[in-house]
Every structure is written in structure tokens, then in C-alpha cells.
Structure 1
């Protein structure tokens, strides 16, 4: 898994109120019901995010992250990967995701993200982006090669392997936020993906936070506070720029 059970996300530099937050159940195009968590802003900024979590699904870290996005003005929905294999249910620290993860298919993730994007856009009109972490980071980057109604795709510490077979199809902007001391993925893999995206003419940005560990986006990591603040600034700038052009 990516973040520890005690980990919680840092607050955005822009902080407002959360109008409402709580769990919900959505239905994908193949009639699969899956769990999600929604947070809506008190002061909307005209943007939304669909959050793709790490392998644990809708864990408390990502519920808090949805609230942090809502505080920053975004409508936010976290999607769960296991509606087809484990049904709709709480994904706490005891959830056994390991036998289920190999069954998660990229096209099914995309279908669930589409349902979440349509839901959050109806609740909070505006441009919608995907934001993923670890397993979800790679899945988020991959969505930029699909036909979803997304203005861009953001990923923290994603696996480039999730994108390599669709690089030539990437058509929406990509933001890659990379841990410089990521033990899960060799740095050369990120740079290879960066080069492939450049060769394909894809609109993308990659930032490497030197020496930062995998899962550095954590408010308890005081030594990485500047990296967390910078990542937030880049997310706000990226979504502002590409919501204006979507």
C-alpha cells in the first residue's frame, strides 16, 4: 500500500469551507455498484477532481483528501476499485485488497471514473480532473489517453507501466508529481515515460521532489512540508490553466 494507516493529507494553501461530505454509492456503465466518498465545497472554484486512491480503496486518508480539495474549492469524489469483486463496503485497515487487486482492470477503472466525473459535475458544475496516488497515480495518467470528460490527469508516485501501452494516445494534459527517493519505482522509469510523452507531443509536466520518499504527501512529514506545499501549488495552477482551456 502507499500511505500508512496513520497518514493524513496536508491542507491546501487555499482553505474554505466544506458544504457537505460523506459516502455514496455510484453505478458504472456496466451496472456495477461501487462505493465512493464525496466532498463538496462551500465556495466553489469551478473545478472538480475524481480521486483514484492507492490499493486500499476509499480509505480514511482519501476521505480526508476529498475534504481538503473541497476546502480549496473543488468538488471531489473518491472511487473504490472493488465494486466488482468485494461489493460496496467500508475499506478500513483490515480490508484484504491483495487477492483482489490483480482483478482490477484499467477499462473498468475508467468506467467508474466516468460515473464519478458525471456525478460530481452534476453536483458542482465545472472542469473535472483525475488525481491519483501510487496504483491510482498510474491509472490517473492512463486516463489521459481515453475518451473521458476530463480536463487533465494528475498522479503522485504512479507506475509508468500503466501508461506505456497508451502513450501515443494521450490527448489531455498530464501532471506527474514524482518522489525523488521512490523505492517502489526506479527513477529512470519516470524519465523514460517523460521522454515518451515528449516524443508523442503530449501536453505534460513532470516535477521530481529530490530525496522525497514515496508517499511524501503527508502532513506528518514535517521535513517534506515544502514539497507538499509545492505539490498543492502545482495542482492548483495545473487545474486553473487547463480548466480555462477545456
Structure 2
């Protein structure tokens, strides 16, 4: 894993894929699931569940892209801890409406069936903490290759966007992928516990990123101190890298998740507009 010292490609789970298809509907792992504030139709798009060749078999995922020959810029969509459910699928369609081939692989398909899990703490303990960073990074690489070979993706225009744990993934993937053009990290933790299979934090790799990052965070996020994100940004800038940090003072963690009580419409919409402008400015 070039650019991520300490990461090695570990053996895939001997259980194979626990999830062989995506969940239907929204995650069960919330105390209060509201109707989605945003629903994006598939008119003018090629959108739906796909099977992505991975290192040890077909990996379920969701793809949305414009109709037409392309090639389209590729956006790798990194899920929250809750799986590729209807919110993440809708995000892919939103990106496709903006002209992108958006692909969201189910990165936790080997570790657990997120469609049946109702407790976020159990998901973190039994699924997230047991997923090696090297595994999901390799899966994102596989998704990128598939997007180019099978989905009219432009191999010269690759970016990533992620939420929560997926926001952490944006930082790490930017330190791994030398040809990445941009990353957008929505409230991804920059610190956290280091383990044998998750040996480095986003802060650890901030000075090693290969692509500019737009970091969108909430000032009222009780789990991610703004000072820690500022420190990661400053480390990146000191190393000659580019991190644009935007903090929405009154927004909590999950402010873009329009199916949860944490949703803050104004911050979510402004952040989305900013994210699209950032991607366009980076040639995507």
C-alpha cells in the first residue's frame, strides 16, 4: 500500500462475503429514522445495484451515472458505518445528475450483514473495528478499475467522497492513491485508536496526501473536536499539501444525513454546493 506505511494487504476473510447484495431501504441502526428529505430520481441515469469484481469474489455495490457514452469522471462514494442503504444510493444519483459516474462499493460485506443490524455500537465493535484498512482500500481500487472498464469511467479523473467513517476513508485513500484528483471528507474522524489492522489515523497521514481535500465538519460535533481537524489541516499544509477546512458552527455530526434527526438542511445544502464546486475546480 504505497503511501501508507504500516499497511499490508492482509488475507481476506475466510467467511467470504456475508452480504452478497445491498440492503433495501434505510439502515435499522438509528433511534429515529425520518423520511428522507431528498429523493433523487433516476431519469436520465443508468442507476442500480452492481457486482464489482474484488480480490476474492463479486462485491455488491451501487452505481449511478448519466446515460450516454462518457467517459465520465469517477467518484468513489465511501459509506457511513451503516452500509450502502437508500441514503448512500441517493447520494450516488445526485452525483450522477451532476455528470459523474458514482460508485459505492459495500466495503463491509465480508465482516457483517449491515441490513440486519440495529445497534450502532455493535456495528462499530463487530464490523467496523474488524475491517482491515488494507482490505477496504483494495476494494476501492477494485471499484475504480471496474468503473473504468465497465462503466464508461475516465481513468484520468478520479475522486472520492465520504461521510463519517467514510470521511476518514477519504483522508487515508488520498494518502494511498497517487492519481486521485480530489477528496471530499464530511465529518470524518481524524484521530482514534490504532490497531494492527487499522494502524494509522487520518491525522497520521495528513502530510502524505496526494490529492487536495475539502473537509466539511460540524462545530457542534461532540465526537470530533474542531481543533483536531485544524491540526490535521495544518500538518497537511506544512507538508505542502492542500486541505480546505469548512466548519459549520451549529452543525452536529451527521448534518448531511437527511434521514436522521442530525440533518441540518442549510449546512447540508451549502456543503453540497461547495463540494460540487470543489470537484469542478479540480478538473472533475
TM-score (norm 2): 0.74
1:111 to 110, 133, 138: 138
* Equivalent position of 1:31 in the other structure: 56
CA deviation map 1:140-191 (0-9, x unaligned): 1111111354211111010112312222321211110111111221121111
Residues 71 and 152 of structure 2 are in contact (CA less than 8 Å); yes or no, is this contact kept in structure 1?
Answer: no
What residue in structure 1 maps to residue 198 of structure 2? none
CA RMSD of aligned residues (A): 2.9
Displacement of 1:11 after TM fit?
A: 7.2
Give the aligned partner of residue 100 of structure 1.
Answer: 127
**CA distance in structure 2 between the partners assigned to 1:41 and 1:243 by the alignment:** 18
Is the CA contact 1:17–1:41 (under 8 Å) kept in the aligned structure 2?
Answer: no
Asked if 1:120 is matched to 2:150, the reply is no
1:132 is matched with: 162
Q: 2:269 aligns with which of 208, 226, 229?
A: 229
CA distance in 1, matches of 2:82, 2:262: 24
- Report the Cα distance in structure 2 between the residues aligned to 1:2 and 1:149, rounded to whole angstroms: 36
1:18·1:39 contact (CA, 8 Å) conserved in 2? no
Structure 2 unaligned spans of 5+: 1-28, 192-200
Report the Cα distance in structure 1 between the residues aligned to 2:252 and 2:71, rounded to whole angstroms.
Answer: 31
Maintained 8 Å contact 2:78/2:161: yes
Counterpart CA distance in 1 for 2:99 and 2:86 is 20
Identify the residue that residue 49 of structure 1 maps to in structure 2.
75
How many residue pairs end up in the alignment?
Answer: 239
Give unpaired runs (5+ residues) of structure 1. Answer: none
Deviates more, 1:199-208 or 1:210-219: 210-219
